[in-house]
């Protein structure tokens, strides 16, 4: 990523991610900016009828944490403020990484490197780190669906405010 841009709407940080954020000292950020998420529902996009609806209580009880849908732009801004803008470098492309007893080192296409205790492999769908994490290079394949996410003001007439609602349907695109 070359720079922080206000792109995307929201992302879902699930319980393990919320726990990691808390472990890194950012638990308050997740609580402040993470919306309430207690249920999920799938609805028919034409009729609006529920196809299925379920509580996330078993997941929350089992993991000890709740999922947090957050605005991508707000989360990025808060993380930059928390860690310090000077600590974040943009426009880097990973070429390789190595782990040893002292931590992990990653090398970039510009010839520079960085070392630390932890490497978060969040380098996108064309990840250079995925084979290192998995131990093999997976074959990418189209799964046959497209997902569009949006972030809207809560409207109780459409869905309860603590429910993640997905409208499901078939569509086609003309060229």
Domains of the chain: 1-90 (3.30.9.30), 92-137 (no CATH)
Rg (CA), the chain: 19
Residue 30 · residue 18 · CB < 8 Å:
yes
How would residue 170 be classed by pLDDT, with cut points 50, 70 and 90? confident
Give CA–CA dist 150/29, Å, rounded.
Answer: 21
Per-residue pLDDT at 43: 92
Band of the pLDDT at 175, cuts 50, 70, 90? very low
Question: What's this model's pTM, rounded to 2 decimal places?
Answer: 0.74
Above 90 in pLDDT, residue 106?
A: yes
- Choose between 54 and 138: higher pLDDT: 54
pLDDT average, residue stretch 148-173: 81
d(C-alpha 132, C-alpha 117), whole Å:
16
Give the Cα-Cα-Cα angle 152, 124, 121 (nearest 5 degrees). Answer: 115
pLDDT top residue among 3 and 105: 105
């Amino acid at each position: 990523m070359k720079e922080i841009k206000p792109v995307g709407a929201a992302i879902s940080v699930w319980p393990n991610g919320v726990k990691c954020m808390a472990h890194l000292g950012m638990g308050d950020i997740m609580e402040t900016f993470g919306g309430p998420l207690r249920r999920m529902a799938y609805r028919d996009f034409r009729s609006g009828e529920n196809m299925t609806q379920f509580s996330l209580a078993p997941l929350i009880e089992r993991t000890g944490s709740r999922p947090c849908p957050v605005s991508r732009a707000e989360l990025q801004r808060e993380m930059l403020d928390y860690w310090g803008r000077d600590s974040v470098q943009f426009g880097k492309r990973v070429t390789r990484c190595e782990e040893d007893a002292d931590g992990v080192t990653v090398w970039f296409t510009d010839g520079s490197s960085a070392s630390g205790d932890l490497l978060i492999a969040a380098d996108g769908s064309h990840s250079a780190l995925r084979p290192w994490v998995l131990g093999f290079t997976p074959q990418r394949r189209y799964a046959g669906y497209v997902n569009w996410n949006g972030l809207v003001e809560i409207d109780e007439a459409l869905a309860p405010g603590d429910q993640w609602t997905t409208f499901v349907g078939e569509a086609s695109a003309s060229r």
